[in-house]
Structure 1
Amino acid sequence: MDNGELQAVAEGLLFASGDEGVTIKQLSKVLDISEDATSQIIEALKGDYEHATRGLMLMEANGVLHLTTKPEHSSYFKKLIETPRSASLSQAALETLAIIAYQQPITRAEIDEIRGVKSDGPVQTLLNRSMIEEMGRKETIGRPILFRTSKDFLTYFGLTSIDELPPLPETTDDANNQEVDLFFERFNDELKNH
């Protein structure tokens, strides 16, 4: 791999490491190059990010490298956070949330099986909104991640525990599903108003 490709991979690894960041030693192992070579790649990336046309910068704190936004752009990030946006969840996300709420702990494959379609996007949306959380791994082949609802989920619904969810109907008659549907519609309306 040439230096340009190594820089691109290192940049991707820095992005993927998120808030945890990554050390030179970790990057060196993953890239399968020496720590000196890794340091040179990081220095080259730092130089690239110093240009005014870049919105990110490479920061090192206590030996851990992080990609972060530039402080001089902070007023724009503040505007973004303050900008009202639709907080409602898509139908797919609501379906996924209901499945997780009533079947927890549950794996993504089990959610997919119940819904009959892939649930990667809705699960990621729910994780991003802190409605669900990872709670370990299932003791089976591949050790898939188990998901459950979060404290934020309980707070939004005004529940003290998951046991307070409306009971699922015994049949699939539409009239019996009404209480559960209304419960999740109320949740979506509350999200819009926050």
Structure 2
Amino acid sequence: MEIKNLKAITEGLLFASGDEGITIKQLRKIMDISEELAVHLIKELQYDYEHAERGMMIIRSHEVYHLTTKPEHSSYFKKLLEAPQSSRMSQAALETLAIIAYNQPITRSEIEDIRGVNSDRSVQTLVARSLIEEAGRKEGIGRPILFATSKEFLTYFGLSSIEELPPLPEDLDMDELEKEADLFFSEMDDEN
């Protein structure tokens, strides 16, 4: 394999390792290369970052290498963290979240049966926001993924357990059930 491909893979591994970083030993094992080559790849990347107008750099701390931002740009990162982020969820995401909260664990197709529309994007949004998570697989054909609310869901809505969700009246039909749940979640979303 060409050195530039190995360098690109190393860069990707540094990025993917995030805050944990990566060691030379891990690079050697993952890429099946010698220690000398792993060290050489890191040094080349460090050189590239230092000698180009790049926003990243590689640091070493306790034998672990990290891809990080350059300190001279810190004022911009501070502004990014201080800028208010939109935390509003779409109506579709709120509906999907309500369905999952009251019917968990539940598959994507079961969610879609209740909503009557494709819910892929809503499920992806909720997973990305860590409000729902995979809760195993359902027995049967295809073994579809089951979804349930997460600890972050409880924290986000100020609940200590799922049992604190407001009870739904027994005589509600599905449309009313969704409206009640949507009302609860939209009120909670507005508060956060």
When the two structures are superposed, what TM-score results if normalisation uses the length of structure 1? 0.77
- Compute the displacement of 1:113 (Å): 5.0
**Separation in structure 1 between the aligned mates of residue 69 and residue 143 of structure 2, nearest angstrom:** 35
Aligned to 1:125: 128
* Partner SS, residue 67 of structure 1: strand
Structure 2 counterpart SS, 1:59: strand
Is 1:156 matched up with 2:153? no
Q: CA–CA distance in 2 between the matches of 1:113 and 1:176?
A: 15
Larger radius of gyration: 2
State the one-letter code of the partner of 1:89: M
Are the equivalent residues in 1 in contact too, given 2:104–2:149 (CA < 8 A)?
yes
Q: Is the 8 A contact 1:104 1:148 kept in 2?
A: yes
Specify the alignment match of 2:166 in structure 1.
166
CA gap 1:39/1:100 in 2 versus in 1, 3 angstroms = farther
Deviation, structure 1 residue 145: 8.1
Note the residue ranges of structure 2 that are not aligned, 5 or more in a row.
113-117
Is contact 1:138-1:145 (8 Å) kept? Answer: yes
Give distance in 2, aligned partners of 1:88 and 1:155. 16
- The change in CA–CA distance for 1:72 and 1:100 in structure 2 (over 3 A counts) is farther
Q: For the structure 1 residues 140 and 10, does the alpha-carbon distance in structure 2 shift closer, same or farther, using more than 3 Å as the test? A: farther
Is residue 191 of structure 2 the alignment partner of residue 186 of structure 1?
Answer: no
State the match for 1:22 in structure 2.
22
Residue identity matched to 1:118: D
Q: Against the structure 1 CA distance between its residues 175 and 92, is the aligned structure 2 distance closer, same or farther, given a 3 Å change threshold?
A: closer
- The offset of 1:139, in angstroms, is 9.5
Tell me the TM-score normalized by structure 2. 0.77
Does the 8 Å CA contact 2:88/2:190 hold for their aligned counterparts?
yes
TM superposition shift of 1:42: 0.6
Instruction: Describe the shift of the 1:133–1:173 C-alpha distance in structure 2 as closer, same or farther (beyond 3 A).
Output: closer
| Paired residue secondary structure (1:94) | helix
Q: Which amino acid aligns with 1:7?
A: K
Q: Is the 8 A contact 1:99 1:111 kept in 2?
A: no
Measured in 2, the distance between the counterparts of 1:66 and 1:144 equals 37
Report the equivalent of 2:111: 114
Deviation per CA, 1:43-65: give whole Å up to 9, x if none.
10111111351111111211222
Question: What root-mean-square deviation, in Å, do the aligned CA atoms of Structure 1 and Structure 2 show?
Answer: 3.1
Which whole-Å CA distance do the structure 2 matches of 1:147 and 1:62 have between them? Answer: 39
The code of the aligned residue for 1:125 comes to A
CA gap of 1:53–1:93, structure 2 versus 1, over 3 A, is farther
C-alpha distance in 1 between matches for 2:35 and 2:143: 33
Change (3 A) 1:126 1:18: same
Q: Which ranges in structure 1 are unaligned for 5 or more consecutive residues?
A: none
CA distance in 1, matches of 2:168, 2:155: 21
Q: Name the amino acid aligned to 2:43.
A: E
Structure 2: how far apart are the matches of 1:118 and 1:59? 39
What displacement does 1:15 show?
1.0
> What number of residue pairs does the alignment pair up?
184
| Correspondence for 1:35 | 35
1:175 and 2:176 equivalent? yes
The structure-2 alpha-carbon separation of the partners of 1:146 and 1:22, relative to structure 1 and needing over 3 Å to count, comes to farther
